[in-house]
Chains A and B, each alone.
Chain A
Amino acid sequence: MAKIMETAIEADRGLPVIRITRDFAATPHQLFRAHTDPALFAQWVGPSVMSTRIEHWDARTGGSWRYLSAHDGAEFGFHGCFHEVRQDRIVQTFTFEGDPDGVALQTLWFEDVGDGYTRLHAQSLVDSFESRDAWLASGMETGVNEGYAKLERMIADGAL
């Protein structure tokens, strides 16, 4: 199967949905851990200019989570519920506390594509096209250049 090593994204034009697909050199279990272990999750969820502080984390079916992202003295809160947590699939809600009425339903699943690779499928359903556009528009300027700098360091360190 051809690998998707660059994030592929699809903004459905008929539904307020964003779909993301990407392959990782990892097992489904490792991807599951990276999404459910708070210490691991905090390492990659936000741009490195932001520090992520997990306030609450119960990655079980029926559990919930909350974390704070801080940058330049400003803090942004996010919270949601774990609706379903399985080794191959996570269904959760996501709310940015700056827009407390807005909620996205996120479905993640991990597909073993062979050769030691796992495909991450991430689908976000929001409650209106306006909300999705706000998502698409949000925070786009953060971390692009420093992200590439970090990637170069990772390659230099042999992490990639």
Chain B
Amino acid sequence: MPADTLSRVFFALADPTRRDMVARLAEGDATVSRLAEPYRMTLQAVYKHLGVLEDAGLVSRPPGPQPRSVRLETDAFNLLDTWIERYRRQAELRYRRLDEVLAAMNEPDRDGAEHGEDHGDGHRG
């Protein structure tokens, strides 16, 4: 997923009304008028929110009998999770290197030469 698509996904989900719409669509498809019911806004405003969600690939309105239903596209969420998982793995690798550094701090006979002159004491605390 290109970065600008991910930006659209995050942007779309930054709005509480759109998050609420997504949460409700997770329970099942709904028509626009049904989706609009709980909100104090014009149908036009609801369509605008849906447009943002559609641009981000989070929802679609597949062709079919009128009025068409709005459907949640779960693939978009999986892609988002994939990006976050990759970032998480990178952080994990960084922290495994930190594990190694911390383990070296525990070695009592370490002379500290590798760590610079300030830390000849090897370990404190």
Binding site for B on A (CB under 8 A): 6-9, 11, 13-14, 16, 18, 20, 22, 24-27, 29-31, 33-34, 37-40, 43-45, 47-48, 120, 129-130, 132-137, 139-140, 142-144, 147-148, 150-151, 154, 159-160
CB closest chain-A residue, reference B81: A11
Question: Could you give, for residues 89-109 of chain B, a 1 whenever the CB lies within 8 Å of some chain A CB and a 0 otherwise?
Answer: 111111111111111111000
B8 nearest CB across to chain A (Å)? 9
Question: Does B119 touch A at the CB level, under 8 Å?
Answer: yes
CB closest chain-A residue, reference B2: A137
CB closest chain-A residue, reference B93: A147
What are some 18 contacts across the A-B interface (CB < 8 A)? A7-B89, A13-B14, A16-B10, A18-B87, A24-B95, A33-B124, A34-B101, A34-B105, A37-B115, A43-B100, A129-B7, A130-B11, A134-B3, A136-B86, A139-B90, A144-B90, A151-B96, A160-B103
Given contacts A9-B91, A143-B90, contact A24 B14 (CB under 8 A): no
Give the contacting residue for B10; candidates A6, A22, A31, A129; CB below 8 A: A129
Sorted from nearest, which 8 A-B pairs have the closest CB atoms?
Answer: A29-B125, A147-B93, A44-B97, A7-B92, A39-B116, A9-B88, A129-B10, A26-B102
Question: Does B37 touch A at the CB level, under 8 Å?
Answer: no
A29 nearest CB across to chain B (Å)? 4
Chain B contributes a number of interface residues (CB within 8 A of A) equal to: 40
Binding site for A on B (CB under 8 A): 3, 6-7, 10-11, 13-14, 16, 19, 83-84, 86-106, 114-116, 118-119, 123-125
Given contacts A34-B102, A37-B115, A147-B96, contact A9 B84 (CB under 8 A): yes
Determine the chain B residues whose CB is within 8 A of the CB of A29 once the complex forms. Answer: 124-125
Determine the chain A residues whose CB is within 8 A of the CB of B124 once the complex forms. Answer: 29, 33
